[in-house]
Structure 1
């Protein structure tokens, strides 16, 4: 999809070479906004309770009928920790809080997707599917997963969580540059 009009001022866009790549740039001399590309940021939760993992069965495509970890996409002006906790609550009714970042997937394509997976601490609630995005939810022992249609990506995330070395990336609340709602994570 080509961006024809500037989202900043509404003027027509034109193609220019910037940083060695063709990019869409606002033709207005007073604006000059650059369209850097299309991006989406997804988050996913790995919530463990009593040695079992929280999974949901997708009720919609893509992946309808597959069991996956709860997750979704960030909202504008929402930090990723809030996003992942909200998605878990919306899809399952389970309250969980961020422990660490456990894995990341980079998927360059027409809409460049970055997916950040969090290990979450179970706080409370019993799994109840939202009935829209997911039609089943529950905590499952790892040996039960062998008999379930678990999405390949979720299998990879579970492997990353089970075989992790260290505690993963944790929020650095003491970051000297922390300001304006920014969140920093480090090993």
Structure 2
């Protein structure tokens, strides 16, 4: 691997073939499942964010499509079967490993909230009033607001996440 200018940017590239290293990326997804005017939340069992309540979510596997990923994550972390409705929010964090997070509203299909005991300690559907009294991560609070208000607002972009010393502070 050497350095070559491609599209006006110096990039790592193989000098013996056409391979170009485009960078490191991760794509995360989050599910916003509403049932009877309550939203599904899980309590994180490990860091980052241990002890915070968040919406279920995770990272896309290499050969998995986005819709399968979020449906799998909601089922794994909370025991709920839900179907993707639409994309409602996007967080874009360019950094050493460029992170994109896509939040979906989802239609509840069936199941009772059950934590997986690995990623989540607790799981349940909570009203906005209950959430006010809970230790909900700031980014999740923003997503909950979007989930309840997004029918008229369309796609929302996260403008509140703060990067400090390459660490994400919006759990």
Shorter-normalised TM range:
0.7 to 0.9
1:21 aligns with 2:2: no
Partner residue in 2 for 1:106: 92
Where in structure 2 are the equivalents of 1:96-135 lying within 5 Å?
Answer: 96-135=82-121
TM-score, length of structure 2 as denominator length: 0.87
Unaligned runs of 5+ in 1: 1-12, 170-187
- Higher-Rg structure is 1
Unaligned runs of 5+ in 2: 156-171
Moved over 3 A (4+): 165-169
Q: CA RMSD in A?
A: 1.3
Partners of 1:115 and 1:161 in 2: how far apart?
A: 15
Equivalences, count = 155
Partner residue in 2 for 1:65: 51
Q: Which of 144, 147, 160 is residue 158 of structure 1 equivalent to?
A: 144
Contact 1:100 1:167 in 2 (8 A): no
Q: What do residues 105-160 of structure 1 show as CA deviations (whole Å, max 9, x unaligned)? A: 11111110111101000000001100001111011111011111100110111122
Partners of 1:166 and 1:143 in 2: how far apart?
A: 22
1:141 aligns with 2:127: yes
TM-score, length of structure 1 as denominator length: 0.79
